[in-house]
Amino acid sequence: MQNSLIPVIAIDGPTASGKGTVAHKVALRLGFHYLDSGALYRLTALSALRRETDLADEHALAKVAEHMQVNFDGAEILLANDNVSAAIRAEEVGNLASKIAALPAVRQALFAVQLGFRRAPGLVADGRDMGTVIFPHAKLKVFLTASTEARAQRRYKQLIDKGISANMEDLLSDLKARDDRDTHRAIAPLAPAEGAHILDTSNMTAEQAIEEVLSLYARRVPK
């Protein structure tokens, strides 16, 4: 199938809005490939920390992004054959990922990588600029959002369930700071794409959000 004809569902939104869970389950239900673009930035951040890369050197960080050995194996994420699925979810890694995502050289280094995930029969891509920059002609664009408090509660539960200590006030502060960086960065700021369906999940379960996205997509597909 011609690449431009392969359907894409772009799901964007702020940290802890539930977009990862929704996008992954929608991809499974449709039999599509899945791209967690945020993981690529987190992998860059983790790799830079492990290599003790100068975090003030934009071009050094871009080289880290360009030369990473990354494999997505089901729910597992491998960095140079090391399972880092849990490691990339650490708060330190997430905060650094948000900072380096504002660097043009890093974004350019990962641009082609993300486009490469568009393969038949289709792709569900989640992130912050999937519908605005990476896949502007996606068949369906969804902007998943939720209140800061709801997102902090979800993040708190995720961390506690994994046996990681967490403080609600710190989580709220981190989310607000990350939202501010993401929405005000000069390159590809976080914002709903043109034509995106805005879905507030503050009072929705993950399953309800999944069904809503599937319903929206079904309306876009010719019978």
Domain boundaries, the chain: 8-216
For residues 100-105, average pLDDT: 90
Average pLDDT, the chain: 91
Percent of the chain with pLDDT over 90: 65
Residue type, 81: N
What is the CATH architecture assignment of 8-216?
A: 3-Layer(aba) Sandwich (3.40)
- Binding-site positions for ATP read 13-21
In which element (H, E) is residue 49 found?
helix 37-51
Phi first, then psi, for residue 55 (nearest 5°) are: -70, -5
Asked whether 190 and 106 are in contact (CB, 8 A), the reply is no
Closest CA to 26 of 158, 217, 196, 220: 217
- Binding-site positions read 13-21
Residue 213 has pLDDT above 80, yes or no: yes
pTM for the model: 0.84
Q: Which pLDDT belongs to residue 1?
A: 64
More confident: 185 or 86: 86
Q: What is the pLDDT of residues 124-182, one digit of tens each?
A: 999 989 999 999 999 999 999 999 999 999 889 888 888 888 899 999 998 999 888 88
Residue 223 has pLDDT above 70, yes or no: no
Q: What is the pLDDT of residues 41-86, one digit of tens each?
A: 999 999 999 999 999 999 999 999 998 988 777 678 989 889 999 9
| Residue partners of 82: CB distance under 8 A and separation at least 6 | none
Asked whether 210 and 26 are in contact (CB, 8 A), the reply is yes
Percent of the chain with pLDDT over 70: 98
DSSP of 176-209, one letter per residue?
HHHHHHHHH-SSS-S-PPTTPEEEE-TT--HHHH
